[in-house]
Amino acid sequence: MPPHNGRATPARGASAAPFEPGRRRWLAWAGGSGLAAAGLLAVPEVRLFAQQVQDFIAGPPVPDVPAQRLSEHVWMVYAKDGFPNPENQGLMANVVFVVTPVGVVVLDSGCSLQIGEMALRMIRRVTDQPVVAIFNSHYHGDHWLGNHAFVNAYGADLPIYALPYTLEQIQGAEGNLWRSLMERWTNQATLGTKVVAPNRPTAHGQTYQFGDVTLKTHFYGRAHCHSDLCVEVVQDRLTYVADIAMDRRIANMDDGSYVGTFKYYEALGRAAGEQLWVPGHGRPSKTLLRDYGNFMAGIYEPCLKAVEAGQGVEQAKAAVLKDPRVARMAAQTDGFESNIGKYISLAYLEAEQAAF
């Protein structure tokens, strides 16, 4: 019998359609009744009912994306889009999994219940082995909201590893914030997804043995965010780097550090040596850290020079856009035009702190 997927199922011969008008009436009432609705939602019983309605209604299934083999043990469900929208139903981050003699280890689970369910279907096309563990790289929701699907399939005791700070953030406000953001960005396609936080802390330098496959964790401080976990598959000379480096996508640096990113690359390269670097967004390559590091340096270094010369952020921006390392990537980087100004500003602020 296939595992229960956590959704309400109509009785045989019944249709789910009659519920849909009720849902629309509920949403219209809740959104259009102004102060009366707000007042009622403050009542605990009404708030609980609203949450149960949301949990009952699940977004549509995500179409299958067959897994691609990266190495002897590692496969990837590739997300071709860089950002979530209603059309891709939030499929914006890769789901990577390692097939070992004792079971499957998932490296980031996707950004919704539906994406996690799709990834689980793709895993089952590759192997009959059960999923025995998950590693969540950091606390941004596109990398862990899919935990819900795997816990539905394998139970709440399924080990889900993360750095302690990641675990705390998901258990706190960050968890529900990301759930809500994904619903909004996808026009409710991710409805039904629950926050399932990691349940096992890990740390830098830990090794995990799954049969004859060894996984090793790496953490070298703040880079893309405050807790970026990378996972090395030792026998395959492959490391999942999540969001510390991306392929043809500009990274969100709101929580990050340019200088920290450069230091992370240096430390990781020394520790792991030559690897196939697998990002959370984009395609893997052996030159990913070098290529993305050059792009990031093309943003940060002109900002540092501008600060040292007493120039403002607009002059720094002009210098960044002329930098050949940035210009070369501009046309092929998803989200470049809409994000580059913000990330130049962040680089300039960090350069100010470094200079003074």
Express each pLDDT in 97-133 by its tens digit. Answer: 999 999 999 999 999 999 999 999 999 999 999 999 9
Q: Identify the pLDDT of residue 280.
A: 97
Q: Identify the pLDDT of residue 17.
A: 34
Give 39-102 as a 3 state SS string: HHHCCHHHHHHHHHHHHHCCCCCCCCCCCEECCCCEEEECCCCCCCCCCCCCCCCCEEEEEECC
Q: Identify the pLDDT of residue 18.
A: 32
Render pLDDT for 272-313 as a digit per residue (tens, 0 to 9).
999 999 999 999 999 999 999 999 999 999 999 999 999 999
Nearest-CA neighbor of 107 among 118, 117, 98, 99? 98
Distance CA 341, CA 133 (A): 39
Q: Identify the pLDDT of residue 55.
A: 55
Report whether 306 contacts 322 (CB < 8 A).
no
Distance CA 139, CA 143 (A): 7
Q: Name the pairing type of β-strands 103-107 and 95-100.
A: antiparallel
Q: Taking all residues of the chain, what is their mean pLDDT, rounded to a whole number?
A: 88
User: Is residue 56 very low, low, confident or very high in pLDDT (cuts 50, 70, 90)?
Assistant: low
Q: How confident is the model over 133-152, as a mean pLDDT?
A: 98
**Within 10 A of 284 (CB to CB), how many other CB atoms are there?**
23
**Within 10 A of 156 (CB to CB), how many other CB atoms are there?**
9
- Single-letter residue type at 1: M
Nearest-CA neighbor of 76 among 66, 63, 88, 90? 66
The structure tokens listed for 25 are: 């009436």
The structure tokens listed for 133 are: 């563990």
Distance CA 334, CA 311 (A): 29
On the question of pLDDT at 242 being above 60, the answer is yes
Distance CA 164, CA 116 (A): 23
Residues near 212 by Cβ (< 8 Å), separated by ≥ 6? 100, 101, 235
Q: How confident is the model over 150-171, as a mean pLDDT?
A: 98
CATH class for the region spanning 68-244+260-268+277-284:
alpha beta
User: Is residue 26 very low, low, confident or very high in pLDDT (cuts 50, 70, 90)?
Assistant: very low
Q: Outline which parts of the chain fall under CATH 3.60.15.10.
A: 68-244+260-268+277-284
| Rounded-to-10 torsion of CA 152, 156, 162, 166 | 80
- Percent of the chain past pLDDT 90, that is, above it, reads 78
The Cα-based distances of 30 to 168, 185, 191, 319 in angstroms read: 32, 20, 17, 50
Q: Identify the pLDDT of residue 335.
A: 85
Report whether 162 contacts 140 (CB < 8 A).
no
328 DSSP β-pair partners = none
Q: How confident is the model over 239-263, as a mean pLDDT?
A: 94
Determine the Cα angle at 90 with ends 89 and 95, to 5°. 120
Distance CA 22, CA 14 (A): 16
334 DSSP β-pair partners = 249
